Amino acid sequence: MSVPVQSLHLADAREAEDLAAFLARLIHYDRAAAVRLQAWGAGRNEHSLAVFGRPPSFEVLAIRTARLDDPVELDVTVSAGELLESIGGESGAEFTVPTAVTGPPWAGVLPPRGGWRELTGLPEVGAMRGAVAAAVAEFRIRDEALPEERRTRSERDRIGREIWSRTVGGTGLPLRAVHAAQSLGFLRPGVPVALLSAGAWLRLRTPFGSIAVRTNGLGGLSVTPTRPG
């Protein structure tokens, strides 16, 4: 793991605002959320910071990147709340990297940095947003139809898994990945989207962030962490 730097300077204030909005959405789903930060840039024309989080309701990895002013080598897991507070300070695009925390299991299982190839079969954005809306409505109808004795957390979870595990269009991308992209503000009307594949990973990429999911799930895995592309 790289030695953590004391501070980072984003390319401009807009980058800071977008990153803060992403962190706020993660905290909405988990007030104790942690994020893994990776930065690199030596030898590159553009210096980047990647922020990885896992909103628990979706069982996916959410990835937000931001441009940095200078090349930095960084790999550390921190509190999302502390990072948000640091970015929200008066120093504009410059912020202090919080103290490292013990990372949750998912933080050791990141998508590969390279080797991605684009897949076909992904519906256009309007159709995907419509599929999410239809799935939400279906869940509500089925939940309300449950008799009182079956209205349990386990039964609701079963219905949710059935609905959100359905794949999108002619792809293997689970609908929960699209739901996560929309809920985190990545899947906006009219934006270009792409579906990428690398090994066991699928990645829904938009200009505002990416959602990555392993086709064999995220839990209970132990691999060497790598950097995303």
Considering the domain architecture, whether residues 130 and 161 belong to the same structural domain is answered as: yes
Instruction: Give the pLDDT confidence of 54-107 residue by residue, as tens digits.
Output: 998 888 999 999 999 888 889 999 999 999 999 966 556 889 999 999 989 999
Considering the domain architecture, whether residues 85 and 121 belong to the same structural domain is answered as: no
Q: Which residues pair with 77 in a beta bridge?
A: 36
Tell which residue, 22, 47, 52, has the closest CA to residue 36: 52
Considering the domain architecture, whether residues 93 and 58 belong to the same structural domain is answered as: yes
- As a dihedral over the C-alpha atoms of residue 106, residue 108, residue 109, residue 112, rounded to 10 degrees, the angle is 140
Tell which residue, 86, 105, 92, 116, has the closest CA to residue 23: 86
Cα–Cα distance between 205 and 89 in angstroms, integer?
Answer: 29
CB 201 within 8 A of CB 213: yes
**Residue type at 103 in one-letter notation:** G
Considering the domain architecture, whether residues 88 and 131 belong to the same structural domain is answered as: no
CB 15 within 8 A of CB 69: no
Q: pTM for the complete prediction?
A: 0.87
Which CATH number covers residue 25?
3.10.150.10
**Residue 218, exposed/middle/buried by CB under 10 A (0-12, 13-18, 19+)?**
middle
How many structural domains compose the chain? 2
**Residue type at 170 in one-letter notation:** G
User: For residue 187, what are the domain limits?
Assistant: 117-214
Instruction: Please state, in angstroms and as integers, the Cα–Cα distance from residue 65 to each residue in 8, 14, 26, 121, following that order.
Output: 13, 12, 15, 25
Considering the domain architecture, whether residues 72 and 123 belong to the same structural domain is answered as: no
Considering the domain architecture, whether residues 190 and 103 belong to the same structural domain is answered as: no
Considering the domain architecture, whether residues 28 and 77 belong to the same structural domain is answered as: yes
Domain end residue (candidates: 108, 142, 175): 108
Considering the domain architecture, whether residues 16 and 81 belong to the same structural domain is answered as: yes
Considering the domain architecture, whether residues 84 and 12 belong to the same structural domain is answered as: yes
Instruction: Give the pLDDT confidence score for residue 6 in this predicted structure.
Output: 79
Specify if 222 maps to a domain.
no
Domain end residue (candidates: 108, 143, 177): 108
Angle at 28 between CA 22 and CA 31, to 5 degrees: 105
pLDDT, mean of each 10-residue run, the chain (229 residues): 68 90 95 93 71 92 92 93 84 85 92 93 95 97 94 93 94 96 94 95 96 72 31
